[in-house]
């Protein structure tokens, strides 16, 4: 069976990837990104929540399990596991995807967007909570608590072009 994408973010993906022998997740993709599960197989879990340091996905909490799940296979979750962060970020440069780079943790950093097969910085003009929330949602984080920092001095400069 599969797992419903409701509530999924990087901590849940991290737990799955570590169980599979990878150091962490680089992306969590919703909406059956890699295809829907077989209609003959169940969607086993809904509303998973992990701290991110659990030894097994089964130690995470869930809103529903088994016959209580209301999701369909259109909501199957997908995860891309990271082997090497630098290599993974380069490989995952798909048009319009976002990433946070050079942050203190993986949940903060300078926003970069992939355009024309290349990662580029985003100019801060008119950037506010709404844009930050979109990036957080795209990266699998909750939008509550999204913050905007216009002071770039906390991040190590890179020489990627300004894309947007």
Q: 150 vs 87, 122, 127, 164, CA distance in Å?
A: 28, 11, 8, 15
Q: What is the pLDDT of residue 102?
A: 78
Res. 146: pLDDT tops 80: no
CB 77 within 8 A of CB 30: yes
Helices (H) and strands (E) in the chain — how many of each? 3, 8
CA 106 – CA 17 distance, rounded (Å): 16
CA 26 – CA 155 distance, rounded (Å): 20
Give tens-digit pLDDT for 67-99.
888 899 999 999 988 875 544 455 466 677 788
- Predicted structure pTM score: 0.51
The region of weakest confidence among 17-21, 39-43, 82-86, 156-160 is 156-160
């Amino acid at each position: 069976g599969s797992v419903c994408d409701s509530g999924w973010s990087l901590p849940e993906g991290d737990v799955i990837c570590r169980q599979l022998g990878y150091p962490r997740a680089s992306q969590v993709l919703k909406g059956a990104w890699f295809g829907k599960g077989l209609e003959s197989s169940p969607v086993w879990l809904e509303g998973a929540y992990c701290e991110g340091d659990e030894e097994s996905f089964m130690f995470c909490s869930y809103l529903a399990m088994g016959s209580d799940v209301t999701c369909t296979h259109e909501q199957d979750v997908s995860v891309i596991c990271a082997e090497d962060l630098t290599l993974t970020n380069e490989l995952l440069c798909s048009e319009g995807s976002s990433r946070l780079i050079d942050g203190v943790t993986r949940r903060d950093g300078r926003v970069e967007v992939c355009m024309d097969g290349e990662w580029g910085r985003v100019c801060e003009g008119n950037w506010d909570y709404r844009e930050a929330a979109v990036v957080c949602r795209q990266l699998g984080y909750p939008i509550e608590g999204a913050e905007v920092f216009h002071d770039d001095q906390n991040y190590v400069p890179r020489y990627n072009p300004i894309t947007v």
